[in-house]
Amino acid sequence: MAVTASHPLLLLLLLSLRLLAVANGASKPLAYQTLVVTPLASPEPLLSEDADGDDENLASAVESETTLPSSSSLHVHLSHRDSVLADTTAAEQIFRLRLDRDAARVETLSQTLAVATAPPAANVTGRRGFSSKVVSGLAQGSGEYFARIGIGTPARYVYMVLDTGSDVVWLQCAPCRRCYSQSDPIFDPRNSRSYAAVPCGAPLCRRLDVAGCDTRRRSCLYQVSYGDGSITTGEFSTETLTFRRSTRVSRIALGCGHDNEGLFVAAAGLLGLGRGSLSFPSQAGRRFGRMFSYCLVDRTSAGAPNRSSSVVFGGSAVPRSSARVAYTPMVRNPKVDTFYYVELMGVSVGGARVTGVLASDLRLDPTTGRGGVIVDSGTSVTRLARPAYQALRDAFKAGVSGLKLAPGGFSLFDTCYDLSGRTEVKVPTVVLHLAGGAAVSLPAENYLIPVDTKGTFCFAFAGTDSGVSIIGNIQQQGFRVVFDAEKSRVGFMPRGC
């Protein structure tokens, strides 16, 4: 029946229904994407001894987007630390351990920020916050990614943890008063022609937050402590580091640890990638332009492609064309100089902005140094301020259709689904909106992840009451994440591995 002026009540009813539909967003259906259901699997074994050799696939994938000649860059393969357990531990147990480490990591970062933002009377160091005070993802052995790096001359290759949440570079050294077990022989500086102790009065020594002096040798001493009680102490020195393709970087200040206690695992030490002056990117900035990027590959999925995680320093770290990269300005915390802060403006689910995710709940307070959002390589699961997380979770659950909720959750995850017997499912899209107009559209496998071998998948976000929010490495997987200190920006390039 045609609607005419002789049916005013019917016309009014239809108009009212249309207005109601627009108000409820029904005129714009939610956007979905496909998740291929791949149960949890064990990670790949650790990198082989020759992992420092050439990799033409990595070179072509990254260098095709470069702005500077490859001679100004270096490329390093990464292995996830779960690879240490790949041959001896079940996949589900490995993942539970990863989440336990993750909780410890977040607690450590929270303690770090509490120390750094405390009133001056409580902050006894008084300088740059915490470069040697509760800084690293190595708390509970939680450094997540290892690289094969040559130390000294001639180079002795060892596994080092790469961590954007730390500044000081250090490794275990002989003679060792107390050392934990590592997968390679302990580095002996007496066998290196390029090793040199830093004098007590040198400017490098004064950059340390906790420093001492060996009066007999007149050499600088360092100490780095962590939230779980782990500690490394020894001689502060300079040494040559060798990376892939025999790229050598000389006179890098690092701690040569003769007394190392705690829950460190497998790696010989740590290569700090933070923003502080003693981090590797800062020290090598004259050669590599204070820029690096990494791409992290999910190695725990049975269907993972044959790709490697990698980190690139220098010109090759920054893609030639910005069209593929979503850039957002770095935000500086005046109380803490190590972390990479960004401003998260909001989140979309299914193409619609989540009204409960407020920028005000996620913003850094420049006066107190509290709050804000950091991009971190050592944290696995993205944490959001609790009100923002709850709004995001509820929007995702409301958008999911036809999926069976799994009872009880899993570890820190409170929203899980039973996808057993399914090969693929449709899930609402999730997009992070960052300052400067950057929109980071997450692949489905970056936010609905397998947690066991039975088909249980969980929404891979969590809430936090610690003040600081964190974009974790699960959400970063598959992106080339660019840290460009020269232009004070962080970029996300999809399919960048």
Instruction: Kindly list the catalytic residues.
Output: 163, 376
Q: Is 289 left (phi over 0), alpha (psi -120 to 50) or beta?
A: left
Backbone angles phi, psi at 199, to 5 degrees: -65, 155
β-pairing, 456-459 vs 448-450, is antiparallel
Nearest alpha carbon to residue 453 among 301, 305, 304, 306: 301
Q: Give yes or no for a contact between 490 and 327, defined as CB atoms under 8 angstroms apart.
A: yes
How far is residue 282's CA from residue 292's CA, in Å, rounded to a whole number?
11
How far is residue 102's CA from residue 141's CA, in Å, rounded to a whole number?
10
β-pairing, 456-459 vs 461-464, is unpaired
How far is residue 104's CA from residue 106's CA, in Å, rounded to a whole number?
5
For every residue of 169-197, DSSP letters joined together read: -EEEBSS-SB---BSSPPB-GGG-SS-EE
**Strands (DSSP E) along 164-268, which ranges?**
170-172, 196-197, 211-214, 219-225, 231-242, 248-261
Residue with tokens 């995702």, as numbered in its chain: 396
How far is residue 167's CA from residue 164's CA, in Å, rounded to a whole number?
8
Other C-beta atoms lying within 10 Å of the C-beta of residue 216: 6
Measure the N-to-C terminal CA separation of the chain; round to a whole number of Å: 58
Cα 188 from chain centre: 31
Peptide bond into 428 cis (omega under 30): no
Nearest alpha carbon to residue 426 among 396, 391, 382, 389: 396
How far is residue 350's CA from residue 431's CA, in Å, rounded to a whole number?
8
Q: Give yes or no for a contact between 77 and 308, defined as CB atoms under 8 angstroms apart.
A: yes
- In the beta sheet, which residues pair with residue 199? 219
Nearest alpha carbon to residue 217 among 227, 205, 229, 207: 205
Amino acid at 355: T
How far is residue 298's CA from residue 449's CA, in Å, rounded to a whole number?
10
How far is residue 170's CA from residue 187's CA, in Å, rounded to a whole number?
11
How far is residue 447's CA from residue 472's CA, in Å, rounded to a whole number?
11
How far is residue 460's CA from residue 97's CA, in Å, rounded to a whole number?
16
How far is residue 383's CA from residue 106's CA, in Å, rounded to a whole number?
9
